[in-house]
Homo-oligomer: A and B are copies of this chain.
Amino acid sequence: MTPNDSSGFTLGALAERLGARLQGDGSRPIDGLATLKDAGPRDIAFLANAAYLKDLADTRAAAVLIQLEHAEACPVARLVLDNPYLAYAQLSQLFDPFLARPTGGIHASAVVAEDVRMGENVEVGPNAVIEAGVVLGDEVVVGPGSVVEVGARIGDGSRLHANVTVCRGAVIGARAILHSGCVIGGDGFGFAHDGSRWHKIAQLGGVVLGDDVEVGSCSSIDRGALDDTVIGNDVKIDSQVQIAHNVRIGDHSALAGCVGIAGSTRVGRHCMLGGGVGLSGHLTICDGVHVTGMSLVTNSIDTPGVYSSGTGAMPNAQWRRNAVRFKQLDDIARRLARLEKHERDA
């Protein structure tokens, strides 16, 4: 990895940028970011987790992002700060060669409707399609093969990777990152039954993403039935996630891969949903709830904290015996109560 401008950085410049206390030679050139284990003499590394203390003594890094309490143990130069993981995140942006790419403008093969309103420095990739009435803010990038349907609005600095679909009228805030294959604003799943067959409920609501939202590859966020589906600011959504119509997600929440949220459920602020978590419809999940991976939530939650369901994997032979007993569990409980009563009466 090389820095995304040609000049590289000095250790001193990085320390200043991060507000870190420099212990070492500030003129040292840095052109990469790596783990303690893999770092070379022009890389900066980080110690964000005590589990990696074992790699510290032997690191060949030029310098290490480190907390004060571990600085003594560091055999090379240090940038001392409170949150090395955050500093790593901040530096990672500098070392992303992709971010430095100059804009390509509007590619000749892109199909852009005449009335599209564009800010400055917009890039529309090859074979992308921008339909009528769309508004693209400043510095928006629409990747190759992506489609922005009629009337959608994309905020300043947002990037749609390749083969993204933003459906009719969807509203995307500033600095969104939409990964390839994701679909924002497909129809919610709504049908009325007449006793013999289904009648589609046209999904007349929209979908609104706040600022600083990221959506992973192949994820889908459906539009609302009458009202909008609303994703708050700074919400981070991983790959293969499904968010149904009229769901609302509060600011700063994070959803890991394969999460599914059924219709009209409201998730609070600063929530974290582990991979594969499922939330039933019409629930209210308060702020600050963490749900561990693959848990099923069927009731509203009004107390912050960590919630779980399910059982971890075990050898199949053991599991078979126990899973059969699960079907007898109520019976087991009743029999136990009877024995207890018998003992009390004895």
Determine the residue in chain B with the shortest Cβ distance to A214: B200
B308 touches A313 (CB 8 A): yes
A196 to B111, CA, bound (A): 40
A326 to B320, CA, bound (A): 11
Determine if A63 is an interface residue (Cβ-Cβ < 8 Å): no
A288 to B32, CA, bound (A): 37
Which residues of chain B are near A111, meaning CB under 8 Å? 107, 109, 126-127, 144
A163 touches B147 (CB 8 A): yes
A129 touches B147 (CB 8 A): no
Determine the residue in chain B with the shortest Cβ distance to A289: B313
Which residues of chain B are near A163, meaning CB under 8 Å? 145, 147, 163, 165, 183
List CB contacts (< 8 Å) of A312-346 with chain B: 312-316, 318-330, 332-333, 335-336, 339-340, 342-343
With known contacts A95-B202, A262-B293, A293-B278, A83–B328 Cβ distance under 8 A:
no
Determine if A86 is an interface residue (Cβ-Cβ < 8 Å): yes
A109 to B128, CA, bound (A): 11
Determine if A250 is an interface residue (Cβ-Cβ < 8 Å): no
Determine the residue in chain B with the shortest Cβ distance to A163: B165
The oligomer's copy count stands at: 3
* CB contact between A181 and one of B144, B181, B256, B294 (< 8 Å): that residue: B181
A296 touches B297 (CB 8 A): no
Interface string of A74-111 (1 = CB under 8 A from B): 00000000010110111011011011010000010101
Determine if A121 is an interface residue (Cβ-Cβ < 8 Å): no
A327 to B90, CA, bound (A): 43
Beyond the given A125-B129, A307-B316, please list 4 additional residue pairs across the A-B interface where CB-CB is below 8 A.
A165-B217, A181-B220, A325-B333, A328-B333
Q: Which 10 A-B pairs have the closest CB atoms?
A: A186-B217, A89-B192, A96-B202, A321-B330, A111-B126, A306-B316, A92-B202, A217-B220, A165-B180, A183-B217
Residues of A within 8 A of B (CB): 1, 33-35, 38, 83, 85-86, 88-90, 92-93, 95-96, 98-99, 101, 107, 109, 111, 125-129, 131, 143-147, 149-150, 161-163, 165, 167-168, 177, 179-183, 186-187, 189-194, 196-202, 204, 212, 214, 216-220, 222, 225-227, 234, 236, 238-242, 244, 252, 254, 256-258, 260, 262, 275-276, 278, 280, 291-299, 301, 305-316, 318-330, 332-333, 335-336, 339-340, 342-343
